Amino acid sequence: MNRREDANARRQHQARLRELAGAIRRCRQCGLFRHRLHAVAGEGPPDARIVLVGEAPGAGEDRTGRPFIGPAGKFLDRLLAAHGFRRQDLFLTSCVKCRPPGNRTPHRAELQTCINAWLRPQIELIDPEVTVLCGRTAVSALLDRSLRISDYHGVFRCRDGRIFFITYHPAAAMRFPAAAEAIQHDFSLLADRMRNWPGHRSMPPDEPEQPGPGRRGTVKNH
Ligand code: SF4
């Protein structure tokens, strides 16, 4: 693709992402719409190399319509900067786009509805090299309910031809020192991967077989 085609494709993706965001703001496909001030579609470039997925909007996100802007968002900003990432280069979003009442965990049906309606199309459109799943809700909804973050954080997994990376949610890292330490290590692995293997959206066929929990920065096909 030459530079002009590249720019055209980027513009089309940007327009399509905006259409999705508009549809998300009008969405009433699950009961969470009743509790929102603003649906939070997500933000970031249409060709982001990384899509980062949290659980759900919190109070600050609901008030402003922007992702990761509360204390956990500030923690995330520091984490990204410490590992050479810039927030504006990632697409930040969540499994469900409307804030659950009292910040409860989204129900399974809400997760499936919102992920199928909006998150999957967003990921398909952006086509990132890596989708980072932050926390248990994102990991169990998009990968596997049996995976424990404490065992699998820092691990890449391949699912349906996409590369996912498992880590803690920044809000958990703020509360628990062990999670804070782990997420720093996870992001250093992620930074290594993005630096050393740019432009790849799948793993090479000769990638070493799965280690399972306890070894980090490796790939597991699922
Ligand atoms: S949480 Fe998702 S599916 Fe439910 S109303 Fe909001 S945007 Fe629609």
CB 166 within 8 A of CB 21: no
Residue with the smallest CA separation from ligand 1 atom 6 is 98
57 beta partners? none
**What whole-number percentage of the chain has pLDDT above 90?**
80
211 pLDDT more than 80: no
Please state the rounded mean pLDDT for residues 37-42: 98
For residue 198, pLDDT beyond 80: no
State the distance from the centre of ligand 1 to the C-alpha of 98, rounded, in angstroms. Answer: 6
Residue 179 has pLDDT above 50, yes or no: yes
Q: Write the pLDDT tens digit of every residue in 53-92.
A: 999 999 999 999 999 998 999 999 999 999 999 999 999 9
From ligand 1's centre to the CA of 24, what distance in Å? 7
Band of the pLDDT at 206, cuts 50, 70, 90? very low
Please list, in sequence order, all residues whose beta carbon lies within 8 angstroms of the beta carbon of residue 151, skipping any fewer than 6 positions away: 213, 214
**Dist. CA 89–CA 131, nearest whole Å:** 13
Instruction: Give residue 85 CA to ligand 1 midpoint distance, Å.
Output: 29
Give the model's pLDDT for residue 6. 82
**51 C-alpha to ligand 1 centroid (Å):** 19
- For the domain 3-221, what is the CATH code? 3.40.470.10
pTM of this structure:
0.91
Does the beta carbon of 27 lie inside 6 Å of ligand 1? Answer: yes
What average pLDDT score do residues 112-139 get?
Answer: 97
Q: What's the rounded Cα separation, in Å, for the pair 111 and 53?
A: 13
Tokens of 72: 């956990």
Give the position of tokens 């940007």. 14
- pLDDT recorded at residue 208: 43
Of all atoms in ligand 1, which is nearest to the CA of residue 96?
1
179 ligand 1 Cβ < 6 A: no
Q: What is the pLDDT of residue 1?
A: 65
DSSP letter for 117, please.
I
Question: What tokens were used for 82?
Answer: 């410490």
Instruction: Quote the ligand 1 centre to 140 CA distance (angstroms).
Output: 18
The burial of 198, by beta-carbon neighbours within 10 Å (0-12 exposed, 13-18 middle, 19 or more buried), is given as: exposed
Q: Please tell me what DSSP assigns to residue 104.
A: P
What's the average model confidence in pLDDT over 29-45?
97
Sole residue written with tokens 């970031």: 44
98 lines ligand 1 (CB under 6 A): yes
Which of 51, 46, 41, 89 lies closest to 165 in space, CA to CA?
51
Burial class (CB in 10 A: 0-12, 13-18, 19+), 28: exposed
Look at residue 113 and tell me whether its pLDDT is greater than 70: yes
Per-residue model confidence (pLDDT) at position 7? 86
pLDDT band of 203, cuts 50, 70, 90: low
> What value does the mean pLDDT take over residues 38-56?
97
